[in-house]
Amino acid sequence: MKAKLKLTLFSAVAAGLVSVPSFAQSPAEKVYIPHGKYDEFYAFLSGGFDGQVNVYGLPSGRHLKTIPVFSAYPMNGYGYSEETKAMLMTSHGWIPWGDSHHPELSQTNGVPDGRWLFINENNTPRVARIDLKTFETTEILEIPFSGGNHASTFITPDSKYITAATRFSVPIPQKDVPIAEYKKYFKGTLTFIRADKPGKMDIAFQILVPGYDYDLAHCGKGPSYGWCFFTSYNTEQAHTLLEINASMKDKDYIAAVNWKRAEQCIAEGKYKEVKTKYAHNYRPPEGDRIARTEWKTSVKWIIPKECPGVMYYLPTPKSPHGVDVSPDGKYIIGGGKLATVIPIHSFEKMINAIKNKQFAGEVEGIPILKYEAVNHCEVPNPCLGPLHTEFDGKGRAYTSCFISSDVVIYDYKKCKVLDRVPTYYSVGHLMIPGGDSAKPWGKYLLPMNKITKDVFLPTGPELPHAAQLYDISGSKPQFLLDMTELGEPHYAQAIPASILMKKSLKIFELDKNTHPYATKSEEAAKVVRKGNEVHIYMTAIRSHFTPDNIEGVKVGDTVYFHVTNIEQDWDIPHGFAVLGANTSNLLIMPGETLTLKWTPKEPGVYPFYCTDFCSALHQEMQGYIRVSPKGANVPIKYGTGEEMHVVK
């Protein structure tokens, strides 16, 4: 009681006795979300070498979910359950890992709309769609004729297309050639993927381009709608020791692609249909929810010189990494990582330069525009190692600078530096909510760093990556938070919580479950032998499985546990695991059916159990499956709590 009577400064403030202007809020108070309140933004950070998308709440920095995308995820069975295995299929076989880079929210009229999130895979080229009702990956499309898909998944303002491009040029199509003959054989492709129809992602066309490395991209909006911009480096076309050999030229290029013109060329038949094989994996977010792989067999190639006007090169200093378009669509900013300035191109000047044929040359039929003719200005002495740019919607651009470990803030129309803030350390991408869209929400800035060193408690040689959160709503940026990240985020996107949280699905409706092995009531549970396959139609509900005693399985059988969670309450998943399975567990959401495949090797009686604590009697949620020797005369039997049902 004594404590309660003390009138402290804090309690005085809390009681409203002392008026504190919101300006006075400390960083601690600004990032703290009291119990009963929610974070203000969902932030989607790519996982980089973890292959996933990690969802955080801002401003708290709390991790909300890892959405498995390109890497198998033992935690919930993604890539292991029979329903999700096909998501990781490629023309190179089943691949349990990916390198996810650039998340991009779907847009309507240039504004993120919260329907989907796209993300690319850089190693074995792919793009994915995540459904933001379920926060699940529902679609993965492989990109053929690509040697690493980095400039991806940047979107057009109407979500019609997402981009992909060859990071590393390769022989196209692949063939056995000496590496030294790079200049002769190696090419790049810029790929446009039709993205606005869920379940129907497909390659609209690929543009065959010179054998450079294509790095990042962004698409135009407003006046520049119809265009997308890609950075390239290694225009030297080096194939070895690139850190020296690809850093020779003072300028490389931003490729400006007129995709409206490309559509015309396709319509006019000015393309080449090329045979190939690549995977399209789709998991319906409703119905049976079983992922399937469809093998695609060709793509349409546009050859720039056969489709004049489809593409121009904008010289840009030096080895440009990021390319970002201002919210009004008028300016294109290149992040020349070895440049001493930040070059800002003008879309209007570019169009005029094209009209006036202000060319400095051409490559493989692609005109190179004169730098002076397209350049709006160069931001002088901005920082060291400029990489990526985001916008706050108030006329300010924010560019991350790797070498000087800071973010430079400038008026991009006037090319005038306004401010800078430190990062800890060696910032790569940075993110402002809506910061690459037509209408940034602004408010927060999140630089994501490549080096952490002494920011957090050490954890052996392997440290987490770090980000800093800044409040940019005031006249000066305010440092708020050092947050840790999973994997290595390359870019992120954020959207106001109010847009997503209402549409977030709580359960899967059991009535709508059309999985062929769904078991919608305990009465319907059964065990069926089909030759050497044993299919167990099983239900899970607090706190038992039906059936929970199973006999008649033999060594040499393949057992499929098809487990339906027949709960219809929010946040009541059940897990499923069986001793000795060389796969993961299943984490089954209410109304969902997932399947675990098990090939028992020795006779015996093996336990299975619920792996996700579900009730006061969760520990009792277990069962046994008996495995008899090959050829044993033991019939299929099953039951829960009563006489076993014998299948004759």
Q: Pick out residues in 357-396 that bind a second copy (CB under 8 A).
A: 385
Output 236 or 263, the one with its CB closest to a second copy.
236
Output 9 or 267, the one with its CB closest to a second copy.
9
**CB 258, min distance to a second copy, A:** 26
What gap in Å lies between CA 336 and CA 288, rounded to an integer?
Answer: 48
Output 75 or 524, the one with its CB closest to a second copy.
75
Residue 249 in the binding site for a second copy (CB under 8 A):
no
Residue 439 in the binding site for a second copy (CB under 8 A):
no
**CB 513, min distance to a second copy, A:** 13
User: Do residues 24 and 9 lie in contact, with contact meaning Cβ atoms separated by under 8 Å?
Assistant: no
From 60-68, 102-110, 323-331, 390-398, span contacting a second copy (CB under 8 A):
60-68
User: Do residues 387 and 322 lie in contact, with contact meaning Cβ atoms separated by under 8 Å?
Assistant: yes
259 burial via Cβ count (<10 Å: 0-12, 13-18, 19+) = buried
Residues in 194-233 that interact with a second copy by CB under 8 A? 213, 215, 233
φ, ψ dihedrals at 524, nearest 5°:
-85, -5
Residue 72 in the binding site for a second copy (CB under 8 A):
yes
- Which has the closest alpha carbon to 265: 228, 298, 302, 299? 302
**Chosen residue from 237, 549, 558, 568 binding a second copy by CB under 8 A:** 549
Cα dist from 464 to 71, 192, 369, 469, 537, whole Å: 19, 34, 43, 16, 43
CA 270: distance to chain centroid? 33
Residue 645 in the binding site for a second copy (CB under 8 A):
no
From 197-205, 343-351, 480-488, 527-535, span contacting a second copy (CB under 8 A):
480-488
Q: Tell me how many residues contact a second copy (CB under 8 A).
A: 186
**CB 552, min distance to a second copy, A:** 11
Beta strands, E only, 423-496:
427-431, 444-449, 465-471, 478-485, 492-496
Beta strands, E only, 384-464:
386-391, 396-401, 406-411, 416-422, 427-431, 444-449
User: Do residues 148 and 123 lie in contact, with contact meaning Cβ atoms separated by under 8 Å?
Assistant: yes
Residues in 285-304 that interact with a second copy by CB under 8 A? none
Contacts of 452 (CB under 8 A, 6+ apart): 424, 425, 463, 464, 465, 466
Residues in 4-43 that interact with a second copy by CB under 8 A? 6, 8-11, 13-14, 18, 20-21, 23-29, 31-35, 38-39, 42
Tell me the three state secondary structure of residue 230: strand
Contacts of 7 (CB under 8 A, 6+ apart): none
φ, ψ dihedrals at 185, nearest 5°:
-105, -25
Binding track, positions 114-143, relative to a second copy; x by CB under 8 A: ---------xx--------xxxx-------
Residue 612 in the binding site for a second copy (CB under 8 A):
yes
Residue 582 in the binding site for a second copy (CB under 8 A):
yes
**Chosen residue from 453, 473, 532, 533 binding a second copy by CB under 8 A:** 453
**Chosen residue from 117, 127, 141, 170 binding a second copy by CB under 8 A:** 170
From 151-159, 260-268, 437-445, 463-471, span contacting a second copy (CB under 8 A):
463-471
**CB 304, min distance to a second copy, A:** 23
**Chosen residue from 81, 90, 138, 326 binding a second copy by CB under 8 A:** 90
**Chosen residue from 108, 109, 240, 521 binding a second copy by CB under 8 A:** 240
**Chosen residue from 103, 110, 317, 575 binding a second copy by CB under 8 A:** 575
Residue 473 in the binding site for a second copy (CB under 8 A):
no
- Which has the closest alpha carbon to 329: 311, 345, 353? 345
**Chosen residue from 363, 377, 451, 647 binding a second copy by CB under 8 A:** 451
**CB 351, min distance to a second copy, A:** 30
What gap in Å lies between CA 308 and CA 312, rounded to an integer?
Answer: 10
**CB 426, min distance to a second copy, A:** 8
**Chosen residue from 147, 220, 322, 435 binding a second copy by CB under 8 A:** 147
**Chosen residue from 15, 516, 571, 633 binding a second copy by CB under 8 A:** 571
φ, ψ dihedrals at 75, nearest 5°:
-55, -45
**CB 644, min distance to a second copy, A:** 8
What gap in Å lies between CA 579 and CA 563, rounded to an integer?
Answer: 16
Single-letter residue type at 405 = S
Residues in 493-522 that interact with a second copy by CB under 8 A? 497, 500-501, 504-508
User: Do residues 105 and 117 lie in contact, with contact meaning Cβ atoms separated by under 8 Å?
Assistant: yes
Residues in 614-643 that interact with a second copy by CB under 8 A? 614, 616-624, 626-629, 632, 634, 639-642
**CB 82, min distance to a second copy, A:** 15
Residue 342 in the binding site for a second copy (CB under 8 A):
no
Cα dist from 439 to 112, 113, 233, whole Å: 9, 11, 30
Owner of token pair 């094209």: 354
351 burial via Cβ count (<10 Å: 0-12, 13-18, 19+) = middle
**CB 102, min distance to a second copy, A:** 13
**Helix locations, 219-328, DSSP H:** 242-245, 259-267
Residue 580 in the binding site for a second copy (CB under 8 A):
yes
411 burial via Cβ count (<10 Å: 0-12, 13-18, 19+) = middle
- Which has the closest alpha carbon to 216: 311, 343, 333, 115? 333
**CB 496, min distance to a second copy, A:** 11
From 219-227, 244-252, 288-296, 392-400, span contacting a second copy (CB under 8 A):
244-252
From 258-266, 326-334, 363-371, 611-619, span contacting a second copy (CB under 8 A):
611-619
The DSSP bridge partners found for residue 25 are none
Residue 539 in the binding site for a second copy (CB under 8 A):
no
**Chosen residue from 358, 484, 558, 568 binding a second copy by CB under 8 A:** 484
**Chosen residue from 108, 109, 245, 352 binding a second copy by CB under 8 A:** 245
Output 269 or 633, the one with its CB closest to a second copy.
633
CA 150: distance to chain centroid? 12
Residues in 408-437 that interact with a second copy by CB under 8 A? 424, 428
